[in-house]
Structures are given as C-alpha cells and as structure tokens.
Amino acid sequence: MRDEDLRPVRPYPAELEERLEHRGRHLVLRPIRPQDTPRHRQFLARVAPRDLYMRFFTGMREVPEPDLAHFTHIDYEREMAFIAEVADGAEAGDILGVARACTGADQRVAEFAVLVRSDLKRQGLGTLLMHKLIRYCRERGIRELRGSILMENAAMLALARSLGFLVRSGERNVEEVVLDLAAATPAAPGAPLA
Ligand SMILES: CC(C)(COP(=O)(O)OP(=O)(O)OC[C@H]1O[C@@H](n2cnc3c(N)ncnc32)[C@H](O)[C@@H]1OP(=O)(O)O)[C@@H](O)C(=O)NCCC(=O)NCCS
C-alpha cells in the first residue's frame, strides 16, 4: 500500500488535543496520527501477550507489521483513537495507552476498544482514556457505545461497569457491554493544565 492511500480523509483534529496532569505525570491526550506509527510499535512491544489476547481475541506475541499502519492511519470521519502520551521529561512522546471507537454507516453506534501498557495497568489510564472517548462520542452525537469483552477479562468488565456500561450476555465466551450516551454523564478525572 502506498503512503498516500493511507492518509486520513478528514484533517487531523488538533482541537481535540488536551494536556493534563494525571497522578503526578504530565500527559497529552490526543487523536492518533500517521506519524505515531514508530511510537505505537514501541507501545505494543511493551504490551504482554495476554493483554494482546484480551484486546484482539487471538493469540499473538506481537502485532503483525502490516496491521500497524491501520492503527495510526485512521479516517477520523468514522473512527477515532485517542492516545495518552508522556508530555515531558526523558520519556516524552511515549505512548502509555490507546482507546478507539469506530462507527457504523449511520453514526449512531460506535464500537470501542482500549489498551494500556502492561506495566502501567491499574493507574487510572484506562479510565482516563475511556472518559475522553466517551466525551468525544457524545459530542459527535453518537447514541450508543458498545464493546465486546472476553468473559475472563475481569479488569475490563469492572472498568466498563464503573463507567456505567450495562453488561449483556454475548455469544460463547464474549460479553457485550453497552453505554447509552444520551443518558450517562460520568465525571471526567484528571486536572486540566493551564
Ligand atoms: C482493561 C484495561 C484497559 C484497564 O486499564 P487500566 O488502566 O488498568 O484500568 P484503571 O486503572 O483505569 O482501572 C479502573 C477500574 O477498573 C477496575 N479494574 C482494573 N483492573 C482490574 C483488575 N485487574 N481486576 C479487577 N478490577 C480491575 C477497577 O474497578 C479499577 O478501579 P480501581 O483501581 O480504583 O479499583 C487494561 O487492563 C488493559 O489494557 N488490558 C488489556 C487489554 C484489554 O483487556 N482491553 C479491553 C478490550 S476492549
């Protein structure tokens, strides 16, 4: 595939960038963009195989190279992926987590997925990213946010419940979670920086 074929149709939505302090660390929450491919590759290299399995539902030691470009070259019209990136210091630019949502043709329903670097789990990053994604989806007029979660994924099921998602029985070993965006209004964590 040529680089031109991968460029997003809608321009990079820089207005969605946000700087904040999260548990003593300065972060940038922002849409992913094509230039993030090397950092995104480094991020995925620091995700344990079990966490990759929880995210992609298939066993892999690493994400295949051809798939990487699709994670960073997105059409912002029908997809959004927010990254949490270190804002300053020696690790500036490092990606700590990603939350993404894709809409169907009618833009009423979006499917989400979220992934946090394995050594940084349970530090509120998943919650932070999901709040950003939920706010964005609500502002876009999307009515419902859905996710498919492996039944054994206690962490994500707990996180989804804490965000107000309802858990529906899915198929076999997968639960479907649904958030009514018109009804739910969770408070956003993280103190914005001046
Ligand atoms: C699921 C995942 C995104 C959660 O991210 P995180 O940054 O660790 O989550 P948070 O720190 O924001 O946790 C928020 C809440 O979720 C629940 N939670 C998170 N991890 C948990 C765990 N291992 N066991 C039980 N509850 C857990 C808790 O209620 C937690 O709040 P608390 O820490 O105040 O008790 C992360 O574990 C991950 O990337 N997992 C692998 C990929 C994956 O499963 N993705 C989901 C597929 S859609």
Q: Which atom of ligand 1 is nearest to the CA of 51?
A: 41
Check residue 124 and give its pLDDT. Answer: 98
Residue 164: CB atoms within 10 A of its CB come to 17
Q: Which atom of ligand 1 is nearest to the CA of 50?
A: 41
- Mean per-residue pLDDT for 63-91? 94
Is the CB of 28 within 6 Å of ligand 1? no
Residue 80 banded pLDDT, cuts 50, 70, 90: very high
Residue 62 banded pLDDT, cuts 50, 70, 90: confident
Per-residue pLDDT for 145 more than 70?
Answer: yes
Check residue 191 and give its pLDDT. Answer: 45
Q: How far is the CA of 6 from the centre of ligand 1 (A)?
A: 32
Per-residue pLDDT for 9 more than 70?
Answer: no
* Tokens linked to 189: 């964590």
Instruction: Give the phi and the psi of residue 138 in degrees, each rounded to 5.
Output: -65, -45
Greatest CA span in the chain, whole angstroms? 48
Q: Which of 57, 83, 152, 156 has the most ligand 1 atoms within 8 A of CB, as the residue to mutate?
A: 156
Tell me the angle at which helices 125-139 and 154-162 cross, rounded to the nearest 10 degrees. 50
Closest CA to 141 of 110, 113, 175, 174: 110
Is the CB of 115 within 6 Å of ligand 1? yes
pTM equals 0.92
Check residue 186 and give its pLDDT. Answer: 53
Q: CATH class for domain 3-142?
A: alpha beta
Q: How far is the CA of 188 from the centre of ligand 1 (A)?
A: 16
> Please, where are the H alpha helices in 57-148?
65-72, 125-139
Per-residue pLDDT for 193 more than 50?
Answer: no
Q: Is 43 helix (H, G, I), strand (E, B) or coil?
A: helix
Instruction: Give the phi and the psi of residue 174 in degrees, each rounded to 5.
Output: -120, 135
Check residue 3 and give its pLDDT. Answer: 53
Rounded to whole angstroms, the Cα distance separating 49 from 180 reads 32
Is the CB of 47 within 6 Å of ligand 1? no
